Amino acid sequence: MITVAHVSKQFASFAALRDVSLYIEKGAIHGIVGASGAGKSTLLRMMNLLERPTSGDVHVNGVCLSAASPKALREARKSIGMIFQHFHLVSNKTVYDNIAVALQLARIPKKEHAARVQEVLQYVGLEAYKEQYPATLSGGQKQRVAIARALVTKPSILLCDEPTSALDPNTTLDILRVLQQIHADFGVTLVIVSHELSVIQQICTSATVLQAGEIYDTLTLVPTGVRSGEQTAESFVRALTGGDAHA
């Protein structure tokens, strides 16, 4: 589980987060929503200490990340995967090597790499692509590789920073289904930052609404499931109106 306790983040004189506290239970699919600049990514990045709180603490699976030794932090991070809006794949490495890097960083013995990479590539349906380079893949395939890289260390938590925002509506559905499947198959706790309400409504069981660095609301949700019709209709309106689905 994840506990964020009275966390603030200051960038020079700018307060990106102010006294934020929240609890995410094991097995939740938790959304973080809010306008651009509300502090969503900053809050998410605190959950693996990519961003260090200026004050307050973040506990993940019982470990206080900001107080952890480098060794304890490395150990804690093995159980926390992360995916990003723009995938963050290394362009001059093959799909296989992009995934194997995560095993190297987690100091998993090299003799285990081939089998583990194969296993996650099979899971995301890309075993035929292991010798290809990221530039030859579609956006959805790149995100599947990034998901495979995140899964290869068998995390109990997957942090997702706008995981579908660079994807078209149908690929968005595809990736949301993959995330739902990961949750169902492995019980992984998902934390999803998204500015798209439909993403949050479709799969999240709870959500934090951020406004200008503070918690505006905390929601308990009943996910609707990944609904293609609605999403596609919305995408058409968005395409026709140049971005605003509700115009």
Ligand X SMILES: Nc1ncnc2c1ncn2[C@@H]1O[C@H](COP(=O)(O)OP(=O)(O)OP(=O)(O)O)[C@@H](O)[C@H]1O
Across 97-213, the runs of DSSP E, i.e. the strands, are: 157-161, 189-193, 206-211
Binding ligand X (rule: CB under 6 A), the pick from 11, 27, 225, 240 is 11
Residues 83-112: x where in contact with ligand X by CB under 6 A, - otherwise, as a string: ------------------------------
Q: Is 134 within 8 Å of 148 (Cβ atoms)? A: no
Contact segment (CB under 6 A) with ligand X among 32-40, 75-83, 93-101, 182-190 equals 32-40
The residue range among 9-17, 74-82, 109-117, 126-134 that interacts with ligand X, by the rule CB under 6 A, is 9-17
Total count of residues recorded for the chain: 247
Give me the least distance between CB of 210 and ligand X, in Å please: 7
> Is 236 an interacting residue with respect to ligand X (CB under 6 A)?
no
Question: Which run of H or of E encompasses 22?
Answer: strand 14-24
Nearest-approach distance from CB 86 to ligand X, in angstroms = 12
Site for ligand X in 169-208 (CB under 6 A): 195
Element (DSSP H or E) covering residue 82: strand 80-84
How far CA 129 is from CA of 87, 120, 137, in Å, comes to 16, 12, 9
Q: Which stretch binds ligand X (CB under 6 A): 23-31, 35-43, 57-65, 86-94?
A: 35-43
Closest C-alpha among 12, 26, 25, 41 to residue 210: 41
**How far apart (Å, rounded) are the C-alpha atoms in residues 54 and 17?**
9
Q: Site residues (CB under 6 A) for ligand X?
A: 11, 14, 16, 34, 36-42, 195
